[in-house]
């Protein structure tokens, strides 16, 4: 199957259901295939990046520690591929009539790995001393209190109305891990040595972490779901070199890799052997996009008509097909189309049209003089291999409409400083990622209170629009789900009209698994699930 | 000789101080701090938490105070705390060091045995097929990038033939016991040590061949031959010993590259050594670890060079006389 027809397939499955076939292999997931799960076996897994700094990093720590900690620490809820919340440690999360408080009913008879019981006190501690202060401070601004009503009931109180989907998103999201009070209370959560060997309620216990190599998890015999986990052992290993990961797959020493474990051409090659299946399912709640951002402090690019013209000059299909080897698709607006809940397709778009781009710039008062209209500083954040090529492509594309480009592709630390601390750029090529819920991750790229010097992945552009601030303020407290969607749609129209930033392509994250690995990719953020229901059919 | 050795050791103290100050300055000059990297990769966007982290890791103090504190703590053998590993720097380094030392010792041993033997054969059989083959091989292994060689050997021996593991240092949950463990590490060590070793071997072979040919022309060799010594005796006792000096010089230089030299190979074979630790730490501006590795590796370099000087005396007593 050529990548072109795969693209058609993607278009045909609109509504965010991503391709479940790559390279022509159909997939049968988990129990859906009718097979009875088998117990036992060792699964070796990896992801497309490096070893984490610690198995659990309290403020989040990015994908790597998120991958390892979520096998141990659970959350109250989880989000499935149909964007429905399922109970994990909480059986119910119910809003009061005014949505100013929530009652959480916890699962009874749950124990931590060290045998201590999991109770409402743990959740109160997490809400006040961990989520509110460390992992989800911005999102839980309105949280003013948490109390244990009884051993399995917690009441959260807010000083403003909190939408149901919003709160559940936090509880099911990256920042909602539940950590044991008895090991963290009274010690600095950030540097607690327990973070290197976390103790949780999850299906797997940390057995051994060999730094530089792997972490080994063993079955939690006292897991609250006696059926689970199916695996005896789970090993997460790290290979620094993507080509070595392909070799490990082929040598049978690696069973599953999440978040683009091998270079894109290798994914297709592995698929073609028939021994592996790849899927883009399981990433809806952690979508990645490649962005173009315009610095509103700079004279030329602060003008919306210039930004629109530049958008017309960039061929998003070329970026998706050539730079990302087809593992991306052209974006139509700021929010990825995989966001089935909030994505708005009716926003202004900027089809690739070099002539129109030129005309718009002429009309904006920037005619070509001596072969150039003006000069721009482009910073392509060098943390992804693709951004390097993207920078070179954008330079060329802008030169085609007679803009002189000074391109810099600094390393990660320097990119962060130039874009998010020094604001030293006209155009930044960066990346955003976020959950299905737009507040606060997606919204703070454009709100005025998102402007914070030195904080990465917030509003670095300095774009400030009272209308946007107002919509986001209402979105944060609107309790009617339908009205929230309408507000989100309105927000996307404003952003797509002004284009302070926009997505160039939606990056497709891929999981590659040996054909006998079952029960994977069933949740909206599979990498961060506990993997208790993954099993081996061998 | 003892005096020379003592003088050498005394030089190490100012050297270490220089290493600390210089590297600290360089890290300060590099754009972006580890706080930038940390908050970005942890996706921390809460201003309150960013400030808390700044204070926690001492980033709120002026650079000169940070430097002073660091020097003081090194004097007390405390290399600081690494946020990325959530552990003391010394623990982190000592955890990664053995793997790199094993890899370097093994590859240097391979390089010495293969390189010196090949060089001697090439020199003895100069301008024959043997010489040409060895020279060709030396050029090939010197020019071939080690990562490419590593990947090719992995594809052949691990993927196609399935004889050896793809990477890592031990079989996970592998056999217990010292013997079994040693064998297991050995199996994992083979490919990385060979791919790194062949690169150095190529260099040794070229240098050895040239040095041997030069010594062959000297008067005392002719004298030895004239005395009726066997050909093998001349080569081993008279020529080899004298030709080894340049190789020992190279060896000394290479011991100094223990940290840097293995970065690529460690990446290809996911060898849990200090090279990859260093790379990560530089990329994330994790200066406590960078400084710690620098201090320890400059110590190793200094000691290795002292050892090479001793070897010189042993091989060529005239050096001591000078």
Q: Which residues of A touch B89 (CB under 8 A)?
A: none
B128 and B257 both lie in a single domain = yes
C-alpha span between B72 and A516 (Å, rounded):
56
Q: Is the pTM of this model over 0.90?
A: no
Q: What's the gap in Å between the CA of A222 and the closest CA on chain B? A: 22
Q: Which residues of B touch A247 (CB under 8 A)?
A: 151, 154-155, 158-159, 166-167
Task: Give the three-class secondary structure for B268.
Answer: helix
B115 and B233 both lie in a single domain = yes
Interchain CB contact of B192 with A (< 8 Å): no
Q: Which residues of A touch B173 (CB under 8 A)?
A: 42, 216, 233, 235
Task: Tally Cβ neighbours within 10 Å of residue A153.
Answer: 15
B119 and B47 both lie in a single domain = no
Domain end call among B88, B114, B135: B88
B120 and B72 both lie in a single domain = no
Interchain CB contact of B59 with A (< 8 Å): no
Q: Which residues of A touch B32 (CB under 8 A)?
A: 412-417
Domain end call among B88, B119, B142: B88
- Residue A1's pLDDT is 33
Q: Which among A62, A413, A421, A424 is the top mutation candidate for probing chain B, defined by the most B β-carbons within 10 Å of its own β-carbon?
A: A413
Q: What angle do CA A240, A242, A247 make, to 5 degrees?
A: 105
| Cβ <8 Å between A414 and B32 | yes
- Residue B1's pLDDT is 65
List of residues 6+ apart from A172 with CB closer than 8 A:
A75, A76, A77, A78, A79, A85, A285
Which residue among A50, A138, A193 sits closest to B46, beta carbon to beta carbon? Answer: A138
Cβ atoms of B298 and B14 within 8 Å: the answer is no
Cα A289 to chain centroid, rounded: 9
Token pair recorded at residue A170:
């936090």
Specify the pairing of strand A403-408 against strand A374-380. Answer: parallel
B115 and B60 both lie in a single domain = no
Given a cut of 70, is residue B160 above it in pLDDT? yes
Interchain CB contact of B312 with A (< 8 Å): no
B72 and B204 both lie in a single domain = no
- Residue A9's pLDDT is 35
Which residue among B45, B52, B270 sits closest to A458, beta carbon to beta carbon? Answer: B45
The residue ranking higher by pLDDT, A318 or B35, is A318
What's the total number of domains in chain B? 2
Q: DSSP letter string over B144-207?
A: S-HHHHHHHHIIIIIIIS--S-SS-SS-TT---SHHHHHHHHHHHHHHHHHHHHHHHHHHHHHH
Query: In b/e form, how buried is each residue of B163-199, taking b as 16+ CB within 10 angstroms?
Result: ebbbbbbbebeeeeeeeeeeebbeebbbbbbbbbbbb
Q: Which among B37, B42, B151 is the top mutation candidate for probing chain A, defined by the most A β-carbons within 10 Å of its own β-carbon?
A: B42
Q: What's the gap in Å between the CA of B51 and the closest CA on chain A? A: 10
Interchain CB contact of A247 with B (< 8 Å): yes
- Interface predicted TM-score (ipTM): 0.70
Q: Which among B168, B185, B282, B288 is the top mutation candidate for probing chain A, defined by the most A β-carbons within 10 Å of its own β-carbon?
A: B168
Task: Tally Cβ neighbours within 10 Å of residue A538.
Answer: 12
- Residue B173's pLDDT is 66
Q: Please compute, for residue A382, the number of CA atoms within 13 A of its CA located in the half-sphere on the CB side.
A: 13
**Residues in a beta bridge with A290:** A431, A505
| Cβ <8 Å between A62 and B165 | no
Which residue among A195, A214, A455 sits closest to B45, beta carbon to beta carbon? Answer: A455
Highest mean pLDDT among A137-141, A513-517, B105-109, B274-278: A513-517
Interface of B with A in 204-243 (CB under 8 A): none
Interchain CB contact of A273 with B (< 8 Å): no
Nearest residue in B to A410, CA atom: B31
Cβ atoms of B116 and B138 within 8 Å: the answer is no
Q: Which of B73, B56, B49 is nearest to B295 (CA)?
A: B73
Is A26-58+202-282+510-536 CATH 3.40.190.10? Answer: yes
Q: What share of chain A is helix, strand, coil (3-state, %, to 5)?
A: 30, 20, 45
Token pair recorded at residue B52:
């808390």
Given a cut of 70, is residue B165 above it in pLDDT? yes
Which residue among A44, A241, A247 sits closest to B155, beta carbon to beta carbon? Answer: A247
Cβ atoms of A223 and A203 within 8 Å: the answer is yes
Q: What angle do CA A10, A12, A14 make, to 5 degrees?
A: 75
C-alpha span between A444 and A449 (Å, rounded):
7
| Cβ <8 Å between B39 and A414 | no
Interchain CB contact of B37 with A (< 8 Å): yes
Specify the pairing of strand A42-47 against strand A233-237. Answer: parallel
List of residues 6+ apart from B183 with CB closer than 8 A:
none
C-alpha span between A511 and A72 (Å, rounded):
21
Distances (CA, A) of A68 to A39, A126, A205, A215, A283: 22, 19, 11, 8, 17
C-alpha span between A117 and A490 (Å, rounded):
47
Give just the sign of the alpha carbon dihedral B249, B252, B257, B258.
positive
Q: In what order do the strands lie in the sheet with A42-47?
A: A204-210, A214-219, A233-237, A42-47, A256-258, A511-514, A276-279
- Residue A29's pLDDT is 41
- Residue A389's pLDDT is 94
Token pair recorded at residue A139:
């999102």
C-alpha span between B126 and B133 (Å, rounded):
11
C-alpha span between B144 and B138 (Å, rounded):
10
Tens-digit pLDDT profile for residues B235-264? 877 788 888 888 888 887 777 665 666 778
The 3-class SS string of B36-90 reads HHHHHHCCCCCHHHHHHHHHHCCCCCCHHHHHHHHHHHHHCCCCCEECCCCEEHH
Q: Which residues of B touch A417 (CB under 8 A)?
A: 31-33, 36
Which residue among A193, A211, A254 sits closest to B96, beta carbon to beta carbon? Answer: A211
Tens-digit pLDDT profile for residues A252-306? 889 999 999 998 888 988 988 889 999 999 998 888 999 999 999 999 999 999 9
Q: Which among B28, B29, B35, B41 is the top mutation candidate for probing chain A, defined by the most A β-carbons within 10 Å of its own β-carbon?
A: B41
Specify the pairing of strand A427-434 against strand A374-380. Answer: parallel
| Cβ <8 Å between B96 and A235 | no
| Cβ <8 Å between B40 and A420 | yes
List chain A domain ranges: 26-58+202-282+510-536, 77-184, 287-507
| Cβ <8 Å between B40 and A188 | no
List of residues 6+ apart from A259 with CB closer than 8 A:
A47, A48, A49, A63, A67, A283, A509, A510, A511, A527
Chains A & B: contacts with CB separation below 8 Å: 175
Interchain CB contact of A452 with B (< 8 Å): yes
B183 and B268 both lie in a single domain = yes
| Cβ <8 Å between A188 and B81 | no
B57 and B161 both lie in a single domain = no
Cβ atoms of B250 and B115 within 8 Å: the answer is no
Q: Which residues of A touch B271 (CB under 8 A)?
A: 212
* Fold that domain A77-184 belongs to in CATH: Dipeptide-binding Protein; domain 1 (3.90.76)
| Cβ <8 Å between B31 and A233 | no
**CATH code, domain with B249:** 1.10.3720.10
Q: Which of A47, A467, A446, A482 is nearest to A256 (CA)?
A: A47
Q: What's the gap in Å between the CA of A60 and the closest CA on chain B? A: 5
Interchain CB contact of A243 with B (< 8 Å): yes
Token pair recorded at residue B78:
């405390």
C-alpha span between A343 and A331 (Å, rounded):
11
Which residue among B47, B166, B283 sits closest to A411, beta carbon to beta carbon? Answer: B283
| Cβ <8 Å between B32 and A42 | no
Cα A447 to chain centroid, rounded: 20
B96 and B73 both lie in a single domain = no
- Residue B219's pLDDT is 84
Interchain CB contact of A161 with B (< 8 Å): no
Domain end call among B50, B65, B88: B88
Interface of B with A in 150-179 (CB under 8 A): 151, 154-155, 158-159, 162, 165-170, 172-173
Distances (CA, A) of A373 to A359, A379, A398, B27: 12, 19, 10, 39
Distances (CA, A) of B312 to A265, B111, B119, B245, B319: 52, 19, 20, 7, 7
Interchain CB contact of A241 with B (< 8 Å): yes
Q: Please compute, for residue A67, the number of CA atoms within 13 A of its CA located in the half-sphere on the CB side.
A: 26
The residue ranking higher by pLDDT, B266 or A150, is A150
| Cβ <8 Å between A188 and B49 | no
Low-confidence stretches of chain A (pLDDT < 50) are 1-33
Q: What share of chain B is helix, strand, coil (3-state, %, to 5)?
A: 80, 0, 20
Nearest residue in A to B161, CA atom: A251
Q: DSSP letter string over A300-342?
A: TTTSHHHHHHHHHT--HHHIIIIISTTSEEE--SSS-TT-TTT
C-alpha span between A108 and B161 (Å, rounded):
52
- Gyration radius of chain A's alpha carbons: 24
B137 and B284 both lie in a single domain = yes
Averaged pLDDT of chain B = 81
Cβ atoms of B286 and A54 within 8 Å: the answer is no
CATH class held by domain A287-507: alpha beta
Parent domain of B240? 90-321
- Residue A434's pLDDT is 87
Token pair recorded at residue B273:
């050594």
B114 and B255 both lie in a single domain = yes
Cα A451 to chain centroid, rounded: 21
B63 and B103 both lie in a single domain = no
Interchain CB contact of A219 with B (< 8 Å): no
| Cβ <8 Å between A241 and B84 | no
């Amino acid at each position: 199957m050529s990548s072109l027809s795969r693209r058609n397939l993607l278009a045909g499955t609109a509504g965010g259901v991503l391709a479940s076939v790559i390279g022509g292999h159909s997939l049968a997931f988990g129990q859906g295939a009718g097979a009875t799960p088998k117990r036992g076996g060792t699964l070796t897994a990896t992801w497309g990046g490096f070893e984490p700094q610690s198995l659990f990093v309290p403020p989040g720590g990015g994908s790597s520690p998120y991958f390892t900690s979520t096998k141990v620490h659970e959350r109250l809820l989880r989000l499935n591929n149909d964007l429905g919340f399922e109970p994990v440690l909480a059986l119910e999360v119910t809003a009061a009539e005014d949505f100013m408080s929530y009652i959480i009913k916890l699962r009874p008879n749950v124990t931590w790995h060290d045998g201590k019981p999991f109770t409402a006190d743990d959740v109160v501690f997490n809400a006040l001393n961990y989520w509110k202060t460390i992992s989800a401070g911005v999102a839980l601004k309105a949280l003013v209190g948490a109390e244990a009503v009884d051993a399995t009931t917690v009441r959260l109180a807010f000083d403003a109305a909190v939408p149901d989907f919003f709160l559940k998103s936090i509880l099911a999201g990256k920042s909602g891990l539940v950590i044991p009070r008895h090991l963290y209370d009274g010690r600095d959560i950030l540097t607690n040595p327990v973070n290197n060997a976390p103790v949780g309620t999850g299906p797997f216990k940390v057995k051994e972490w060999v730094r530089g190599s792997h972490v080994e998890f063993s079955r939690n015999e006292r897991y609250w779901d006696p059926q689970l986990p199916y695996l005896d052992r789970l090993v997460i290993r790290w290979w620094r070199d993507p080509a070595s990961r392909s070799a490990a797959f082929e040598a049978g020493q690696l069973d599953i890799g999440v978040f683009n474990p091998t270079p894109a051409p290798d994914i297709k090659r592995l698929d073609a052997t028939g021994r592996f299946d790849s899927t883009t399912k399981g990433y809806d709640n952690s979508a990645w996009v490649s962005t173009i951002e315009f610095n509103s402090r700079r004279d030329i690019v602060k003008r919306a008509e210039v930004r629109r013209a530049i958008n017309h000059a960039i061929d998003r299909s070329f970026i998706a097909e050539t730079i990302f080897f087809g593992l991306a698709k052209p974006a139509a607006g700021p929010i990825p189309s995989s966001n089935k809940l909030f994505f708005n397709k009716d926003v202004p778009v900027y089809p690739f049209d070099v002539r129109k781009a030129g005309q718009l710039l002429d009309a904006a008062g920037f005619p070509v003089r001596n072969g150039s209209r003006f000069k721009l500083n482009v910073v392509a954040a060098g943390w992804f291999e693709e951004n390097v090529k993207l920078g070179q492509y954008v330079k060329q594309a802008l030169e085609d409409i007679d803009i002189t480009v000074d391109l810099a592709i600094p390393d990660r630390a320097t990119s962060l400083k130039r874009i998010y601390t020094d604001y030293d750029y006209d155009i930044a090529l960066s990346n955003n990622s976020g959950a299905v819920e737009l507040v606060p991750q997606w919204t703070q790229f454009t709100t005025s209170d998102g402007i914070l010097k030195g904080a990465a992945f917030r509003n670095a552009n300095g774009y400030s629009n009272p209308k946007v601030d107002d919509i986001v303020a209402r979105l944060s407290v609107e309790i009617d789900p339908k009205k929230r969607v309408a507000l989100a749609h309105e927000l996307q129209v404003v952003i797509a009209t002004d284009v302070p930033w926009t997505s160039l392509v939606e990056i497709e994250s891929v999981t590659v698994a040996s054909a006998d690995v079952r029960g994977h990719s069933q949740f909206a953020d599979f990498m961060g699930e506990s993997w208790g229901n993954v099993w081996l059919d061998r | 000789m003892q005096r020379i050795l003592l003088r050498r050791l005394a030089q190490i103290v100012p050297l270490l101080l220089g290493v600390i100050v210089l590297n600290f300055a360089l890290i300060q000059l590099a754009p972006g701090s580890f706080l930038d990297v940390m908050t970005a990769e942890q996706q921390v966007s809460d201003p309150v938490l960013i400030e808390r982290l700044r204070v926690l890791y001492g980033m709120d103090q002026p650079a000169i105070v940070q430097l002073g504190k660091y020097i003081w703590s090194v004097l007390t053998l405390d290399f600081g705390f690494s946020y990325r590993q959530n552990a003391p720097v010394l623990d982190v380094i000592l955890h990664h060091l053995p793997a790199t030392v094993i890899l370097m010792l093994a590859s240097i041993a391979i390089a010495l045995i293969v390189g010196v033997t090949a060089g001697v054969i090439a020199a003895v059989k100069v301008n024959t097929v043997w010489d040409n083959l060895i020279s060709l091989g030396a050029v090939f292994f010197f020019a071939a990038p080690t990562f490419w060689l590593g990947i090719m050997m992995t594809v052949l021996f691990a993927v196609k033939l399935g004889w050896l593991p793809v990477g890592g240092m031990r079989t996970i949950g592998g056999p217990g016991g010292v013997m079994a463990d040693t064998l297991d590490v050995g199996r994992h060590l083979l490919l990385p040590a060979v791919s790194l070793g062949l690169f150095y071997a190529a260099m040794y072979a070229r240098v050895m061949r040239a040095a041997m040919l030069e010594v062959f022309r000297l008067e005392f060799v002719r004298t030895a031959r004239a005395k009726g010594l066997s050909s093998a005796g001349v080569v081993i006792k008279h020529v080899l010993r004298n030709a080894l000096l340049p190789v020992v010089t190279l060896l000394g230089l290479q011991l100094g590259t223990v940290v840097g030299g293995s970065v690529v190979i460690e990446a290809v074979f996911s060898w849990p050594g200090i090279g990859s630790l260093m790379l990560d730490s530089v990329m994330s501006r994790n200066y406590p670890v960078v400084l710690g590795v620098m201090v320890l590796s400059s110590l190793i370099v200094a000691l290795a060079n002292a050892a090479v000087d001793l070897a010189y005396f042993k091989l060529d007593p005239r050096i001591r006389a000078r």
